[in-house]
Amino acid sequence: MKSYQMLIDGEWVKAGSGKTFDVLNPATGAVMAKCPEASDHDVDRAVRAARRAFDEGWRDVTAQERGRILLRLAERMRKELPRLAEIETKNSGKPLTESEYDLTDVATCFEYYGGLATKLHGEVMNVPDNAISMAMREPLGVAGQIIPWNYPLLMAAWKLAPAICAGCTMVIKPAEQTPLTLLEFAKFFADAGLPKGVVNVVTGFGETGAAIVAHKDVDKIAFTGSMEVGRIIMRSAAETLKKVGLELGGKSPNIFFADADFEAAVDGALFGVFVNQGEVCSAGSRVLIQKPIYKKMLDAMVAKAKTIKLGDGMDRATKMGPVVSREQMERILKYQAIGKQEAKLAVGGGRPTQKDLQKGFYVQPTIFYDVKNSARIAQEEIFGPVMSVIPFDKEEDALRIANDTPYGLAAAVWSRDIFKCMRMVKRLQAGIVWVNHMQPTYVEAPWGGYKMSGIGRELGPWGAEEYMQVKQVHINLNETPIGWY
Ligand code: ADP
Ligand code: MG
């Protein structure tokens, strides 16, 4: 078992109180590491280090150099990928192949923002006077970043890379369940040329996160996690009027018209909600199927779902690992029980019975059908491998059901009719709409939610914009007095 320390002002340190917490391997339930539990005092030290780094030096580091630092981090990530992928799988439960994809995306994210650093710029406006009017873009200052456990290092990368690109300094907190890959990644900072204090990593629970949000010297909060905590964060941030970016949950519709390619549809519906054990903010957890193919598609999905191999993510044969924690497992089991009251169960519905899966936090991939959209399993985010299948008649019905949710993160539509697809694209209320696919996303493209799924956009130039503020500069070119008085 390993004891980790946190990174504050370039030093690896324990919590001031000496307190630690256990980090588990969800495949076995065994403790795999200990991490410091940061108090308000530790958070304050980290924020002060970030402020000092911003004021004394980092703001003068050129965009070219920031770009080079990001590219060095990407290169190191690619080099260390096999080792970090194993840690990601052992700590989060996800199959090793999925960790490898995630960490490749981490490298790609740093490469993208490494390239973007020298392309950020302001604008010059045409104004109706003898003057030059400019909008300058400047880094926002100190960012507080709070990370979830479903894509531990990737969600950290989505926040670190654009913030470094934009010239901010930061205090980042990984989720208490999955802090290890970020702590490992932070060991690369010094070699990459990142000055001390620019990125500070603190570990701890919700209280540690809350201390970051409440700190008066933090200029912006970037949060990915539950709607419930997002709301708490926004309320707390109101005290100090910080900028907030929130990427919250979803109950995303995955819509299948009768004319969709059948094999691709079956595949896309299962992948949409079962990848990463369903622990995906954009999970296609509501599967809407047009009536002519409803029965056939349901049967095909059930047959295929039965073949999904559950197991330790370190085993290459595993297709679905354990969920991240006992708490999550219990939450999913609770929703499976609710689902049995509200709808019909087609497959799964509890814990697997295999003997070797009893210690880990495993749940069966589960499909409920004939689900009413008003049911709790169609309205509330479960964040596990639970699919709710809902039949529909016409295009308007699909649209109405799809949009009938407080969330608006993602949606997908499957059909070979481009007219129908594009009509749906225009009217679905979601931050991303896939056509004949679900889940892949690119660092070049914006990511974020409509409605109660969030505020702001990550990735692409939008992601860097979140870490900048705009200064208007007015230069008078007319030397004569205005003569008003
Ligand atoms: P879940 O409940 O699924 O674990 P959360 O939204 O609670 O998801 O957690 C996401 C991240 O938010 C974690 O890093 C967690 O420690 C942090 N967090 C939890 N509560 C708070 C809070 N009140 N303020 C700030 N951060 C929090
Ligand atoms: Mg929570």
The contacts of residue 21 (CB under 8 Å, 6+ apart) are: 34, 35, 37, 176, 203, 204, 205
Query: Residue 206 C-alpha to ligand 1 middle, in angstroms?
Result: 5
459 CB within 6 A, ligand 1? no
Three-point CA angle 290, 294, 300, nearest 5°: 135
Find, among 354, 175, 348, the residue nearest to 278 by Cα.
348
Taking the chain (485 residues) in runs of 10, the rounded mean pLDDT of each run is 96 98 98 98 98 95 98 98 98 98 98 98 97 98 98 98 98 98 98 98 98 98 97 98 97 98 98 98 98 98 98 98 98 98 98 97 98 98 98 98 98 98 98 98 98 98 98 97 94
Type of residue found at 392 = F
Ligand 1 atom nearest to CA at 204? 16
**What single-letter amino acid sits at 319?**
K
Q: What is the pLDDT of residues 213-268, one digit of tens each?
A: 999 999 999 999 999 999 999 999 999 999 999 999 999 999 999 999 999 999 99
Q: What is the pairing mode between strands 253-256 and 243-247?
A: unpaired
Q: How many CB atoms lie within 10 A of CB 284?
A: 29
What angle, 0 to 180 degrees and rounded to 10, lies between the N-to-C axes of helices 227-240 and 206-214?
A: 30
Q: How far apart are CA 111 and CA 384, in angstroms?
A: 31
Ligand nearest to the CA of 230: 1
What are the distances in angstroms from CA 221 to CA 58, 116, 168, 218, 443?
19, 22, 12, 8, 20
Q: Which two tokens stand for residue 401?
A: 């059901």
Task: State the pLDDT at residue 111.
Answer: 99
Q: Is the CB of 38 under 6 A from ligand 1?
A: no
Q: Which ligand is nearest to the CA of 325?
A: 1
Q: Whose CA is nearest to atom 24 of ligand 1?
A: 210
What DSSP string describes 232-272? HHHHHHHHHT-EEEEE-----EEEE-TTS-HHHHHHHHHHH
Which of 383, 415, 385 shows the shortest CA–CA distance to 399? 415
Q: In this predicted structure, what is the pLDDT of residue 357?
A: 97
Which pLDDT score, from 0 to 100, does residue 1 have?
A: 83
Residue whose CA is at the smallest distance from ligand 1 atom 20: 206
SS3 393: coil
Is 176 touching ligand 1 by the criterion CB < 6 Å? yes
Q: Which atom of ligand 1 is nearest to the CA of 232?
A: 23
Spatial separation of the C-alpha atoms in residues 169 and 199, rounded to whole Å: 6
Q: What six digits make up the tokens of 244?
A: 């907030």
Rounded CA-CA distance 306/347 in Å is 7
**120: its two tokens:** 């950020």
Instruction: Answer whether 173 contacts ligand 1 (Cβ < 6 A).
Output: yes
- The residue written with tokens 């996690």 in the block is 225
Q: Is the CB of 61 under 6 A from ligand 1?
A: no
Confidence at residue 379, expressed as pLDDT on a 0 to 100 scale: 98
The predicted structure's pLDDT at residue 221:
98
* C-beta of 443 in contact with ligand 1 (< 6 A): no
For tokens 């894509």, the residue is 151
For the CA of 327, the closest atom of ligand 1 is 4
Kindly report the protein residue whose alpha carbon is nearest to atom 26 of ligand 1. 209
Q: What is the CA radius of gyration of the chain?
A: 24
* pLDDT for the residue 109: 99
Mutate to test the pocket of ligand 1, among 146, 176, 325 (most ligand atoms within 8 A of CB): 146
What would the two tokens of residue 137 be?
Answer: 């873009």
CA 148 – ligand 2 centroid, Å:
9
Atom in ligand 1 nearest the alpha carbon of residue 175: 14
Q: From CA 324, how far away is CA 169, in angstroms rounded?
A: 30
- Among candidates 471, 470, 472, 462, which has minimal Cα distance to 116? 462
21 lines ligand 1 (CB under 6 A): no
Q: Which residues lie below 8 Å from residue 156, measured CB to CB, with a gap of 6+?
A: 145, 147, 172, 174, 181, 182, 185
469/136 Cα distance (integer angstroms) = 8
Report the nearest atom of ligand 1 relative to the CA of 383: 3
CA of 90 from ligand 2 middle (Å) equals 21
CA distance 423 to 399: 10
Cβ of 88 below 6 Å from ligand 1: no
What is the residue type of 266?
V
pTM for the whole structure: 0.98
Residue 175 alpha carbon to ligand 2 centre in Å: 10
Listed residue (276, 382, 286, 271) closest to 323, CA to CA = 276
Stated length of the chain: 485
Ligand 2 centre distance from Cα of residue 225 (Å):
8
**Residue holding tokens 């199927």?**
289
In contact, 385 and 368? CB cutoff 8 Å? no
Say which ligand is closest to the CA of 175: 1
DSSP assignment of 126-159: --SSSEEEEEEEEE--EEEEE--SSSHHHHHHHH
Quick check: CB of 226 below 6 Å from ligand 1?
yes
Ligand 1 touching residue 175 (CB < 6 A): yes
| Residues forming the active site | 247, 281
DSSP classification of residue 320: B
Beta-bridge partners for 224: 247
Q: Is 234 in the pocket of ligand 1 (CB under 6 A)?
A: no
DSSP secondary structure letters along 373-392: TTSHHHHS---SSEEEEEEE
Report the separation in Å between the CA atom of 293 and the middle of ligand 1, taken as the mean of its atom positions.
40
**Tens digits of residue pLDDT in 129-160:** 999 999 999 999 999 999 999 999 999 999 99
